[in-house]
Amino acid sequence: MPESSPLFSLVYRSEASRAVHEVTLGALVRKARLYNQQARITGMLLYAKGQFLQLLEGPEPALSDLYARINDDARHYDVTTLSYGPVELRSFGRWPMAYASVDAAFLEKVARCLPKPAAVGLTAEPCPEVALLLRDFAKEQEQAQ
């Protein structure tokens, strides 16, 4: 889809609060997808043993507004920004928020190889872990249709 304003991308990680588990996350993800869709924000959220890793991409200021709300959310803490800046292309353009529960080692690998601002996006050459995620997300999407 053509972008109407400059595209930014954000990656952060955080620790889930004790009350958060995969069941409560289902509701969070459903609500987030609705919001992201109307704000033209796309991305993915990974959850592994109490840790979150999220990539979000979209127009400013929608992205920074959302990040401020996410930062204030009591369902997680120690929110650490790994990268934030302009990108040329969306890496998760098909997903208002893809979600996967993964193991901790996989989350670490993805944290190291997610596309950084100024990179041209995953269409260039996703690392094997992210390529695997994209394949799984696409499969889920096809099954849901």
User: By the criterion CB under 6 A, which residues form the site for ligand FAD?
Assistant: 27-28, 32, 35-36, 45, 52, 54, 56, 66, 69-70, 72-76, 97
> At closest approach, how far in Å is the CB of 108 from ligand FAD?
17
Beta strand 51-59 pairing with 98-101: unpaired
> At closest approach, how far in Å is the CB of 29 from ligand FAD?
8
Q: Which is nearer to ligand FAD, 24 or 124 (CB)?
A: 24
Q: Which is nearer to ligand FAD, 120 or 133 (CB)?
A: 133
- Backbone φ and ψ for 61, nearest 5 degrees, come out as -90, 5
> At closest approach, how far in Å is the CB of 78 from ligand FAD?
12
Question: Would you tell me how many other CB atoms lie within 10 Å of the CB of residue 137?
Answer: 17
> At closest approach, how far in Å is the CB of 144 from ligand FAD?
18
Q: Which is nearer to ligand FAD, 38 or 145 (CB)?
A: 38
Written as six digits, the tokens of 36 are: 């992201």
Q: Which is nearer to ligand FAD, 103 or 128 (CB)?
A: 103
